[in-house]
């Protein structure tokens, strides 16, 4: 059996225009690597949206995903907390196993 | 009337009807973005070439100043009305107001086409004015919002960049400058794409705008009758003011009308992007519904002919 | 023969060869969708303008009724053959049958072009017939499937919408109506995009269809020799019937051939989408392989010239 | 350490034409928010597919993702079950932590 | 309550050109089904990237996701291990619940 | 100088400036891919038609052999310099070297356009030479890397396919052959898209290349001054050699210059894709920065005029 290490995967759904600031915040708080994933559409308390580029993507959303050690997760999430309500971010934290754990 | 039966408008209507009927018709987003980049390049180039042909005149500076002043003052008036008559709270009122201070590229393009067809084309430099009017209202809108509210996270630098270096502004001004440099002769080899193809591609873009506008209207949650009223009153009032100023500055019919159109139109590209960042608590569904789903079609169908008529009376 | 060496067909062949050779050549999906939307707009407009030129005639109604009847009856015959000779079970047989009752836009376009080049263009109203024939076969197919099988989840309303308001049908009919309204003069400013550019863009689209068709053929799992045979027999029989009816109704060569082409062609847009919803248990790999990877190339290369020859004999 | 709440993330891979019906079913069964994610290609017992728009996206698939309370998860999944085989949906349920748990 | 089964979800972030080889490796090692998901951008020790097609997608990345039984996971990951460093793959393993577990 | 003020170059500069200013301007990736597929088709067709017009001559074979030899030898020289002067370790040196042995389609296109404008168009068969030169350097590069290093996982077959059946190579050669078959007459209906639209669409593509090149330069981590120097020395030396060989083989000015351009240019499509697979440990940021962000603009702005001047002196 292959050796794995436990890490936290943090996924944040946010509006595209916020991506740069959030990435900088992540890096400032110890995040070493991240990946950005696309979305197509969604719905919630504020109504429905779908990716539409007529408006220059102002209404588009992306997922910022990063795999981190537990303590980095805490640090980043603490820094993030004040923004959650402001920018209605959707944040999930999942426990995952990784291989070559010292890369994260 | 004839205007309303142009293919450009008819495709907009087709898109809107398809969305209201809940058809699954949709334009792939990358195409939609590609078309919008194309439109910016094409009108930027065209403006630059016109100015390179006619030289810069003092009118350019007059129009620029008029445009800047309008885009700073319009949000202030709009904000007051949105608060009082529209019953919006501060943040939403400020965000919506910013949209009306800024401008809509496609409304400009539609007006341009109609005026050119009617033999009264606006001056080429109005494209520079268009670009200049895209962003100042954003600053005013944020200022209006922050007088009364505090905000924790300051995406300051990012916001300035998003605003001033917004892709559409950069492309519009960049193409304008390229047009200035290359002039009519340099334009010849690229004119099949940027000139001959323009109207056809604009049809496809307006098909998409029809779809998006109607979907926004269908899903708009907080769009009260009062707000719809304002989304129609704003363009009438601002368009009248803009056209009048244009006439007073001695511009020709096409140019005065175009200043009216710029004043009357509401942004749905640069401003929403900036507002998501600066005033995230403002309701994006609301400001996009007002600018895109009410004011935009109003201007296309009723507004532009009205400002043209005004200009003819005054010039 | 000359037909086979037209750039449109050669690009289809290039795509197919690249896919068979497992090249990583691929057309980005949004481009592919954009091209298909463009083709719908372009042929819709063209048909509308032709009809606005010539006025509506009784022939339009005759052709429409012939088309509707064909698209309802073809699936019934096809279903019987697919069950008996093809050895398919009910659901798959019904789903495949529905495809053959409906039509293929690109086969229509290819036929249109060849007939026009040969000096025998079909009547403009055939584009309306094309749009009318897209959906009825779906209803027949579902009916055939449900006679024998029960289904738990009924996506009724959605299905009707998916079917009747399918994006491609809406765009085709919408553009047709726009063409009717604007006529030849209104079309002039958009003709560089929708007419002059047509053949070139069709090449790119067929390059993509070649890639997709060949990949489908490579990965088709349940495509037996019997089914391949049917995918060739269906267009021959239906095309012959369609052309004969066209000739009997007194249509000209181009129009009669086109009715044959519509009858012979199999859907790969509206019907698959509806089948995923209505008959999800049917094998999508199978019906797409038959319609797209066998019948489509057969019609393009062998069928169209054959129906043309028939029409010439009969008209 | 930031306060998190345990929720269920349900992810459903499905054919594009099914999306509307499924979204309605989700909402009818108590789902308040959802996000739709794109996919590129895949393979399974029924063969390989890749997103191809020549066929109008009939063969395309998307992921419908929703974060819900355990009881909503049960309710939605129970409503979903009869469709699983019919539409060969791929469903996964993951335990995740969220911040501001009362939003889900 | 609906019956679920525990499975492993393996997600691998990799360069597009590697996809075919990796898919073949997965199938050779008992993987029956998989789905490929797009990404937009990312950053890590080797710097930032974003999907850019000017270079023919050479710098683009995708996620290869597969849900498998524990023993298939072991087998596949063991076969994968020598490639991890070579191709700097990012691999996560998550425990998920699935419905109709015998399909995986 | 005039060259530098062509819209094509100006759009490249606009893209680069926007990226340096950190504007959020971006071209949707599917559009970018669509444009690059379009360029391949268009130049492939054009080359094929030219050759179908003039017939195949012995010059075609001379040019092909010269191209193949250059693309095998250039990486060997480059590798030595990258190791010694550039201080790269084996794998990186080999990967970078392979890029310089291969070719850049857009550099070729830009050169083609300038030479044609100047009245000295290259022979049509140079497009076949372009396609032939895309892949051999990949094999040489891998060979250079593996002499010294061992590798666990051998993606052998895949690599060969990726390399020889790389989408861009297939499309280029396929369109070339289609051009050969259809000739001038068959080209007429598609020329509005593939010829008239070419320069305009090239502008949009170069806008994107400017954005991508500048972003690569901004984020390049390991791009030392020595490597930048080499990324400028390579094209000068290789371009001079290529042009000289062209002149010695008796080619006309346009054709000799074009052989120089091919030798001087560095791949940023086929080779990076192959290197990700074959030499994954090599630093993609590095080789793309060198070829795309240094050598490409150098060739466009300085190189092409220089090789043209050389050719004029020698032919
Ligand atoms: N429970 C949820 N699960 C998944 N996505 C959600 C959920 N709630 C909200 N979202 C996403 O977040 C966006 C904003 O949510 P809301 O603020 O509730 O309108 C929605 O449009 C969805 O895309
Ligand atoms: N084990 C799996 N892991 C991830 N995706 C899967 C799995 N099995 C099936 N899929 C996806 O579901 C689709 C249909 O599966 P199937 O019904 O097995 O052909 C496949 O084409 C994949 O995209
Ligand atoms: N901790 C992480 N979380 C999410 N994605 C990561 C992480 N580390 C690396 N990546 C992704 O893997 C790519 C290569 O990582 P690296 O080798 O560290 O440059 C990055 O560009 C990211 O897209
Ligand atoms: Na305004
Ligand atoms: Na048919
Ligand atoms: Na070279």
Integer Cα distance of D67 and D73 in angstroms: 8
| Touch test C–A: 3 Cβ pairs or more under 8 Å | no
Pocket of ligand 1 (CB under 6 A): A 13, 42-46, 49, 88, 90; D 32-35, 65-67, 104
- Predicted pLDDT at E49: 87
Query: String of b and e for D36-62 (b: at least 16 CB within 10 Å)?
Result: bbbbbbbbbeebebbbbbbbbbbbbbb
B273-315 tens-digit pLDDT: 889 888 988 998 899 999 999 999 999 999 999 999 999 999 8
| Touch test E–A: 3 Cβ pairs or more under 8 Å | yes
**Domain of D68: which CATH number?**
3.30.70.120
pLDDT over 50 (residue B153) = no
* A87 contacts chain B (CB < 8 A): yes
With cut-offs at 50, 70 and 90, classify the pLDDT of residue C55.
confident
* A86 contacts chain D (CB < 8 A): no
How far is the centre of ligand 6, averaged over its atoms, from the C-alpha of F258 (Å)? Answer: 11
- Three-class DSSP category at E85: helix
- Predicted pLDDT at B163: 76
Q: Which ligand is nearest to the CA of B219?
A: 1
Question: How confident is the model over B144-149, as a mean pLDDT?
Answer: 79
Residue ranges covered by each domain of chain B: 7-13+28-314
CB pairs under 8 A between C and D: 87
> What is the C-alpha R_g of chain C?
18
ipTM of the complex: 0.93
Q: Say if the Cβ atoms of B23 and C193 lie within 8 Å.
A: no
Is the domain spanning F7-13+28-314 CATH 1.20.120.1460? The answer is no
- Residue D88 DSSP class: T
User: Taking CB atoms and an 8 Å cutoff, what residues of chain D touch A77?
Assistant: 2, 99
Is the minimum distance from the CB of A66 to ligand 3 under 6 angstroms?
A: yes
How far is the centre of ligand 6, averaged over its atoms, from the C-alpha of E59 (Å)? Answer: 21
Integer Cα distance of F273 and A102 in angstroms: 28
- Residue F161 has phi, psi (to 5 degrees) of -65, -50
CB pairs under 8 A between A and B: 87
Instruction: Write F1-4 long-range contacts (CB < 8 A, 24+).
Output: F3/F114, F3/F304, F3/F305, F4/F301
* F285 contacts chain C (CB < 8 A): no
Interface of A with E in 20-79 (CB under 8 A): 23, 27, 32-38, 62, 67
The residue with tokens 């019997």 is C226
pLDDT over 50 (residue C153) = no
Question: How confident is the model over C16-28, as a mean pLDDT?
Answer: 92
Residue of D nearest to A39 (CA): D37
* pTM, 2 dp: 0.93
How far is the centre of ligand 2, averaged over its atoms, from the C-alpha of A94 (Å)? Answer: 23
User: What is the residue-level pLDDT of chain F in tens, covering all 315 positions?
Assistant: 566 788 999 999 999 999 999 998 989 888 999 999 999 999 999 999 999 988 878 999 999 999 999 999 999 999 999 999 999 999 999 999 999 999 999 999 999 988 998 999 999 999 999 999 998 999 999 999 987 665 544 556 667 776 778 888 899 999 999 999 999 999 999 999 999 999 999 999 999 999 999 998 988 888 999 999 999 999 999 999 999 999 999 999 999 999 999 999 999 888 998 898 889 889 988 999 999 999 999 999 999 999 999 999 998
Q: What percent of chain E has pLDDT over 90?
A: 63
Residue of C nearest to B33 (CA): C30
Least confident among B147-151, C17-21, F287-291: B147-151
B100-136 tens-digit pLDDT: 999 999 999 999 988 998 999 999 999 999 999 998 9
Whole domain around residue A30: which residue ranges? 5-103
Query: What are the CA-CA distances from residue C162 to residues A29, C269, D42, F217 (Å)?
Result: 48, 11, 24, 48
- For ligand 4, an ion, list residues with CB under 5 A: B 265
- Predicted pLDDT at C152: 44
Q: Say if the Cβ atoms of D42 and E23 lie within 8 Å.
A: no
- Residue F121 has phi, psi (to 5 degrees) of -70, 145
Residue C48: which H helix or E strand, with range? helix C29-54
The DSSP annotation for chain F comes to -TGGGSHHHHHHHHHHHHHHTT------HHHHHHHHHHHHHHHHHHHHHHHHHH---HHHHHHHHHHHHHHHHHHHHHHHHHHHTS---HHHHHHHHHHHHS--HHHHHHHHHHHHHTT-PPPTTHHHHHHHHSSHHHHHHHHHHHHH---S---HHHHHHHHHT-HHHHHHHHHHHHHHHHHHHHHGGGHIIIIITHHHHHHHHHHHHHHHHHHHHHH-SS--HHHHHHHHHHHHHHHHHHHHHHHHTT--HHHHHHHHHHHH---SSHHHHHHHHH-TTS-HHHHHIIIIIIIHHHIIIIIHHHHHHHHHHH-
The DSSP annotation for C94-137 comes to HHHHHHHHS--HHHHHHHHHHHHHTT-PPPTTHHHHHHHTSSHH
Considering its fold, how many domains does chain A have in total?
A: 1
**Most confident listed range (A14-18, C1-5, C187-191):** C187-191
A45-83 tens-digit pLDDT: 888 888 777 777 777 899 999 999 999 999 999 999 888
* C11 contacts chain F (CB < 8 A): yes
Least confident among B138-152, D68-82, E34-48: B138-152
* E82 contacts chain F (CB < 8 A): yes
B189-204 tens-digit pLDDT: 999 999 999 999 999 9
Interface chains of chain F (3 or more CB pairs under 8 Å): B, C, E
B106-116 tens-digit pLDDT: 999 999 988 99
């Amino acid at each position: 059996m292959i050796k794995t290490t436990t890490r936290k995967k943090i996924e944040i759904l946010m509006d595209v225009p916020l991506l740069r600031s959030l990435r900088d915040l992540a890096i400032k708080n110890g995040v070493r690597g991240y990946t950005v994933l696309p979305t197509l559409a969604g719905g919630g308390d504020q109504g429905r949206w779908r990716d539409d580029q007529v408006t220059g993507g102002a209404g588009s959303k992306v997922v910022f995903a990063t795999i981190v050690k537990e303590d980095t997760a805490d640090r980043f999430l603490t820094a993030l907390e004040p923004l959650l309500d402001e920018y209605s971010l959707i944040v999930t934290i999942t426990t995952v196993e990784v291989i070559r754990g010292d890369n994260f | 009337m004839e205007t309303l039966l142009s293919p450009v408008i008819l495709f907009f209507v087709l898109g809107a009807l398809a969305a209201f009927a809940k058809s699954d018709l949709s334009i792939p987003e990358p195409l939609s973005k590609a078309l919008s980049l194309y439109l910016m390049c094409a009108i930027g180039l065209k403006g630059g070439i016109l100015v390179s042909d006619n030289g810069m005149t003092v009118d350019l500076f007059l129009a620029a100043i008029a445009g800047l002043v309008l885009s700073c003052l319009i949000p202030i008036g709009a904000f007051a009305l949105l608060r009082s008559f529209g019953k919006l709270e501060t943040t939403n009122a400020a965000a919506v107001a910013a949209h009306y201070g800024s401008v809509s590229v496609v409304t400009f393009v539609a007006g341009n086409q109609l005026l050119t067809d009617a033999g009264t084309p606006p001056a080429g430099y109005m494209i520079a004015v268009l670009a200049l009017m895209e962003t100042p209202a954003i600053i005013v809108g944020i200022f209006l919002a922050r007088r009364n509210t505090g905000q924790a996270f300051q995406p300051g630098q990012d916001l300035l960049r998003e605003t001033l270096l917004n892709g559409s502004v950069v492309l519009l001004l960049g193409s304008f400058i390229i047009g200035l440099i290359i002039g009519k002769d340099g334009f010849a080899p690229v004119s099949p794409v940027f000139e001959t193809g323009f109207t056809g591609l604009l049809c496809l873009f307006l098909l998409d705008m029809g779809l998006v506008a109607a979907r926004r209207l269908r899903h708009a949650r907080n769009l009260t009758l009062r707000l719809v009223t304002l989304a129609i009153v704003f363009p009438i009032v601002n368009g009248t003011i803009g056209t009048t100023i244009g006439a007073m500055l001695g511009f020709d019919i096409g140019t005065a009308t175009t200043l009216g159109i710029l004043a009357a139109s509401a942004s749905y590209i640069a401003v929403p992007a900036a507002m998501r960042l600066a005033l995230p608590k403002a309701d994006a569904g609301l400001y996009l519904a007002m600018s895109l789903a009410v004011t935009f079609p109003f201007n296309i169908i009723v507004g532009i002919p009205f400002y043209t008529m005004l200009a003819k009376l005054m010039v």
